[in-house]
Amino acid sequence: MMKEAIKCVFCCSSIEEKNFGIVILGKYICADCERKITHLTGDDPNYDVYQGGLKRIWFNEA
Amino acid sequence: MKNTWHFKILIRLYLARVFQWLGQQQEIYYVGSSEALPPPLSNDEENDLIERLGQGDGQVKSVLIERNLRLVVYIARKFENTGVGIEDLVSIGTIGLIKAVNTFDPHKKIKLATYASRCIENEILMHLRRNNKTRSEVSFDEPLNIDWDGNELLLSDVLGTENDIIYKNLEEEVDKKLLHQALLKLSGRERRIMELRFGLNNGTEKTQKEVADMLGISQSYISRLEKRIIKRLKKEIHRME
């Protein structure tokens, strides 16, 4: 049986050891998205994307 | 062997939850879920993880974030009276927590919880300030008032430029054309008086005395002529309109 690949909840890229970022409430975030979140500024056009994604993680909808 | 790294992290996170369940600590739940949040780290646990974080072990970041999620909820609740939903506050606070764990300097003698609290609070405050800024921006279609018949008075209805510059310019253009046509109906001397007095044809306005001197007639005669010419121009323009 094929093992399902672990994907980043934001960019859906396959997560391997080399690009592993963090796990929050059982959801994986790749290193690249984690870095982007760390450097997010309030006026970043992607702010709502990451905030919405984290909201879905909290709501268990991701 | 290659694929075991993420299982290790998951096992670590689940073990933390089992210990919490066994310890019967007060539980805080996920938003919209009955599953409890992991408990905060003990001092020893936190020191151990932070030491490993300082040594470059990035995998401990997940544990540090998860075990501080209660802190996010605690701080988010302080802002519940701002009109922003708790789910938004919690997700924004989580951004602050991720920033905190990634920028925390283990060599500084400060507790992670203290540093993370500031980051979470800053993140939420930044969002609230940004929201307030947007709220102070008003749409042109913002209804200012609604009458009994349900007709809306929009902001755009009462907005205008200084003395309605646009319309004024258009009206001035039309008036200029009419004036030019009316001037053609005057005699040569009458037209000259008007041109000199009112600076028509891109000239400068001259006083009645100056015009009188230029034409070799008295100032009082210029005054009388001027009144008569203006009256006639009005009549001509009125006829053309």
What is the CATH classification number for the domain harbouring B189? 1.10.10.10
- For residue B6, is it within any domain? no
Distance CA B76, CA B94 (A): 10
Summarised one tens digit per residue, pLDDT across range B41-50 is 888 899 899 9
Find chain A residues with C-beta within 8 A of B10's C-beta: 23, 26
Does A22 contact chain B (CB < 8 Å)? Answer: yes
In the block, which residue shows the tokens 């000199």?
B196
Q: Are residues B192 and B123 in the same domain?
A: no
| Amino acid identity, position B79 | F
Q: Are residues B104 and B190 in the same domain?
A: no
CA distance B143 to chain A (A): 28
- For residue B106, is it within any domain? yes
Higher-pLDDT residue of B217, B36? B217
Task: Say whether A51 and B92 touch across the interface (CB within 8 A).
Answer: yes
User: What pLDDT, on the 0 to 100 scale, is given for residue B24?
Assistant: 46
Distance CA B53, CA B51 (A): 5
Please tell me which residue of chain B has the smallest CA distance to A26. Answer: B10
Q: Are residues B95 and B50 in the same domain?
A: yes
When pLDDT is averaged across residues A16-42 and rounded to a whole number, the result is 91
The answer to whether the pTM exceeds 0.80 is no
Q: Are residues B108 and B169 in the same domain?
A: no
Boundary-marking domain end, from B86, B117, B133: B133
Task: Say whether B32 and A60 touch across the interface (CB within 8 A).
Answer: yes
Q: Are residues B39 and B100 in the same domain?
A: yes
| Amino acid identity, position B120 | I
Inform me whether the pLDDT recorded for B167 exceeds 60.
yes
Inform me whether the pLDDT recorded for B90 exceeds 90.
yes
Find chain A residues with C-beta within 8 A of B116's C-beta: none
ipTM of the complex: 0.92
> What are A7's two structure tokens?
């994907």
Task: Say whether B65 and A24 touch across the interface (CB within 8 A).
Answer: yes
Where in the sequence is the domain holding B62, given as residue range(s)? 33-133
Inform me whether the pLDDT recorded for B6 exceeds 90.
no
Q: Are residues B115 and B205 in the same domain?
A: no
CATH code for the domain of B128: 1.20.120.1810
Inform me whether the pLDDT recorded for B165 exceeds 80.
no
Summarised one tens digit per residue, pLDDT across range B53-87 is 888 888 899 999 999 999 999 999 999 988 889 99
Looking at the structure of chain B, the number of domains it has is: 2
> What are B198's two structure tokens?
């009112």
pLDDT class for B19, splitting at 50, 70, 90? Answer: low
Q: Are residues B117 and B172 in the same domain?
A: no
- For residue B146, is it within any domain? no
Q: Are residues B101 and B182 in the same domain?
A: no
- For residue B195, is it within any domain? yes
Q: Are residues B222 and B178 in the same domain?
A: yes
